[in-house]
């Protein structure tokens, strides 16, 4: 949902009548008064559905619910984290116009890709979509784990994408044709945007489309930029299939994850094994990829 779709009450520390009875710091989310009156979102159904999803490390944990003035509120764990977008771009103080693009090690890039694909496959299996997914809608914890949040029920996706378009939250040259021309949104649209997120991880601040500044939805997607040489080791052509103009020709999220697992799985497993053996990487695990990259850059000066 967009920022105007929901009210977010930031971290609250206290006993929120959780099943464990323990105190925890939570973020409280509920539907905005405007949308509650319009009845354009199935908020109660969303909350019921999200409570049915087993705890998963790719999603922001749900602590429970509460009722405030007749409105159901969702309680989620407050994490020490930032957005993936901020991880990929370093700004100097408040100078947001001049930023340094963070280039992560290949294994960290592979891990981030797999985290996101696993999370997207999971929410699809429970009937959720993530309209207009971007690096700004993915959290990265202090331990370097990606977590998804702010998705919606499949049946609410069209209303959500229309709201985002009206609020100019979407870049049309990067959007799938069905979103630009018909304001439609489906699982295949999620595939498109997930592929854009992967490209942003590979090439921060760039578009995969060679004609990225064009306005035509037919010519802009016919030629793609080259795969970044730095990440040739995890090259996967299935990514380019995600941007076909015909929705039915795009691969399923499960197929994309399986394909990248074949490409990246052994590399990630190798690093996990190193951590279990107590190598230097285990020490580096205390730093997130962003900090590791900056430390590496500082060491090379």
Distance CA 167, CA 190 (A): 19
Distance CA 64, CA 129 (A): 21
- Residue spans per domain, the chain: 3-77, 81-294
The two tokens of residue 141 are 């914890």
The pLDDT mean for the chain works out to: 81
Question: Domain 81-294 belongs to what topology?
Answer: Transferase(Phosphotransferase); domain 1 (1.10.510)
Question: Domain 3-77 belongs to what topology?
Answer: Phosphorylase Kinase; domain 1 (3.30.200)
Helices and strands (H, E) in the chain, number of each type: 11, 11
Q: What is the DSSP string of 254-291?
A: HHHHHHHHHHHHHHHHHHHHHHHTT-HHHHHTTS-HHH
Residue with tokens 């995969």: 208
Q: What is the pLDDT of residues 162-174, one digit of tens each?
A: 999 999 888 888 9
pTM beyond 0.75, yes or no: yes
Asked if residue 241 has pLDDT above 60, the reply is yes
Q: Label residue 209 by pLDDT band (50, 70, 90).
A: confident
Q: What is the pLDDT of residues 100-157, one digit of tens each?
A: 778 899 999 999 999 999 999 999 999 999 999 999 999 999 999 999 999 999 999 9
């Amino acid at each position: 949902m967009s920022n105007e779709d929901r009210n977010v009450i930031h971290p609250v520390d206290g006993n929120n009548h959780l099943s464990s009875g323990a105190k925890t710091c939570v973020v409280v989310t509920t539907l905005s008064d405007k949308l509650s009156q319009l009845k354009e979102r199935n908020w109660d159904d969303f909350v019921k559905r999200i409570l049915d999803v087993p705890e998963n490390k790719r999603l922001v944990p749900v602590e429970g619910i509460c009722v405030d003035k007749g409105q159901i509120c969702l309680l989620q764990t407050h994490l020490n984290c930032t957005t993936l977008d901020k991880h990929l771009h370093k700004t100097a103080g408040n100078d947001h116009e001049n930023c340094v693009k963070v280039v992560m090690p290949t294994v960290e890039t592979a891990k981030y890709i797999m985290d996101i694909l696993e999370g997207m496959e999971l929410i699809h299996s429970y009937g959720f979509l993530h309209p207009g997914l971007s690096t700004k809608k993915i959290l990265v914890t202090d331990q370097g784990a990606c977590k998804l949040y702010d998705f919606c029920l499949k049946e609410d996706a069209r209303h959500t994408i229309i709201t985002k378009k009206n609020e100019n939250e979407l870049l049309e040259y990067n959007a799938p044709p069905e979103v630009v021309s018909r304001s439609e949104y489906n699982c295949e649209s999620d595939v498109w945007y997930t592929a854009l997120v992967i490209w942003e991880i590979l090439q921060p601040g760039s578009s995969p489309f060679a004609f990225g500044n064009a306005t035509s939805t037919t010519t802009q997607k016919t030629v793609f930029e080259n795969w970044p040489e730095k990440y040739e080791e995890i090259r996967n052509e299935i990514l380019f299939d995600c941007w076909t103009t015909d929705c039915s020709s795009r691969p399923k999220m499960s197929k994309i994850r399986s394909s990248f697992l074949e490409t990246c799985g052994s590399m990630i497993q190798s690093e996990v094994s190193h951590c279990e053996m107590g190598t230097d990487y285990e020490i580096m695990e205390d730093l997130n990829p962003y900090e590791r990259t900056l430390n590496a850059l500082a060491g090379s000066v």
